[in-house]
Structure 1
Amino acid sequence: MISELKELFATWMAAVAAAIDAVGAKLVRRRQIVLIEGQGNGFTARVTSTGTGASLPELSFRLVQNRPEPAVPPEWAAALRGSQLDIVMRRDHVLVRPLDFPKQAADFLDGMIRTQIDRLTPWTASDAVFGTSPPAPLANERIGLMLAATSRQKIEPLVRLAGDLRVSSVAGLVDLHEAESEGTRIRLFEAQPSGAGRTVDVPRLLRLGLGLAAAGAAASLIVSTYVGGMLDAEQHELQQHIAQRRAALRINQTGGSAETLLAKLKQTTPSSVVVLEAVSRVLPDTTYVTELRVEGDKMQVVGMTQDAPSLIRLIEQSPHFTRATFFAPTTRGQSDPGERFHIEARMTPYFGDGS
């Protein structure tokens, strides 16, 4: 009960914090500035949203030893302080390539790309920053997207520059096409530079006040339910002991013996051999199994096939399995002959007749 109350309270706090953030964003409108990277470490800054200040002419400078030359004018320094800065990086500094995945992998795209980033790019997962365009449907139940990636060393001078300019937040973007357009940009990274200048963080102050008020109410609620939770746990444990004792008495009354218990265990425990035979009957000839695991009443199978979604239906039709589902994303490498699937299913408790 206490864990459920904590989860409910955390969910409620997250919803309230999101609402406070939205209200705070309206109360404190930050200036939005775009910084476009050009040739020879050159940059051009322009104001895209003035917030509460006045508009400014474009600013051009070069980055020399991590410092702007010429120096940023005072009016621009004041405008940049506490603003939201978008840096549009040069296309030749970013690796852009198309990717496609099975349609069923739409909910796992970020994790799948992150685990394969060292194969898709020249950098390891710890050295690369990347972003993707929204997925678009393709033929044969697949989806396509554009991957943009660059080295973390490339963005460090930009984040350092944003910190020196004392912006509130900085984001790195890249244009998919030569013409500048916000609709064709991929967001590579977002950061809040250390030492960034902030005036009054209204959302944080509101969340802090709400958190202090709610903490007192939550503490009294937890204390009031603590004793009840302990009693419920003890009652549940006692009921389990009673049920186990009654089951043991019933077995003894019906002439239960070691042989009876072994026979019952045999009839109610799935056999690994029977599971393997049932899987081999269900899967088509074009499917290859590389790994089969049986844990309790759960079976997990990993392998290669031409049509992974159809395996769910085939396994569900077998009387030996129920509740078949994917427990990991379905992937397809460039050198793989098919789709690599990861399926798990619940096994029916009786495997004794072998049918």
Structure 2
Amino acid sequence: MLIQAVRWWLRELRDAFGLRAARARIFKHSLRLTASDGGVVAEPRIGSRRQPAMALSGAGEPHSEEGKKWLSELRDSLHPPVTCIEIVVSKTSRLEQVVELPIAAEGNLDDVLRFEMDRLTPLRGDAVYFNGEITGRESATGKLTVSLTLVPREPVDAMFDSVAVWDDDAPSRDIRVERSGGEVLVVAAPPASASTLMPRLNLLLLAACLTLAAALLGLSFNEQQDYASALRAEIAKRRPVAIENAVLKDDVSNAVRQLDMLVAVKQDALPVTVVLEELSRLLPEGTWLTRLSIRPDRAQLVGNSRSADALVAILEASPVFAEVHFVSSVIRDEQTGTDEFHLSVLLHNDGAAP
């Protein structure tokens, strides 16, 4: 009985000092998930060594008792707070395309891509995980070429749910898309709050262990375990609140950063009044607009004109407009005797009058 008690205390002290977490950081721990036949295959990895894999049930389906037991026991070999979750994304489950952005977007590339996602791609920024890699830079034109990889969130989040028995803190992790060799991975890194939260919990647990050790001779081993279980339950009750506060702090920081980006975009944008005044001055008689759409760096002009073919040269003569081109073919309106046109125009803030 005494030997069993000593072994139990050694295990508690090891976790209190964070020895298992330190080992996981030295030898990279990861749990790789791969979709297979409507289910999920989970493969633990410690460093370069692969552990036996387990086929889990699909999203929304209950695990078998064997699957639940395997996930619960996995905590002994893979410490969730310092283990990365890696989801392998097949070619059919991702979208890849090349986009162009102003060279000024390089400093906040992820924020710009998220803000412009619905314009650059058929998907919304909040519906995908994405990765943008700069593949070209043209100083003469002020453009960046970016290789964009998009992964829909819904199936990825369902795979995170499939291992909730092992770790239910996936929503608080730092999730990003990475390329590793020929593979595309969605990587859920341990939450940033783990670096400050876990030492405090370890310190609390250490204090409890020392207190219990002092009473070791006066309490039976069963009473020790009951007391420790109650202590663990109290820690578990308080831990989600601490994690929620850390996640809330991250959300506020992200919101402030996006607001700063929007302010910067607005400051760099050409004033709408300048665009309207320049159009009023340049558009020839017999030309009128039925729709005008203005973005920070480009405008869309839809309307009718008796001389639509001449509009490109007229607008490009202005220092405010550049790269003028027809978005679609000019259509003749026999009733009005005019041409229906749709033009795209690049806006130059440097050419605006002070």
Query: The TM-score by the shorter chain falls in which range?
Result: 0.3 to 0.5
Using the size of structure 2 for normalisation, the TM-score is 0.42
TM-score by length of 1: 0.42
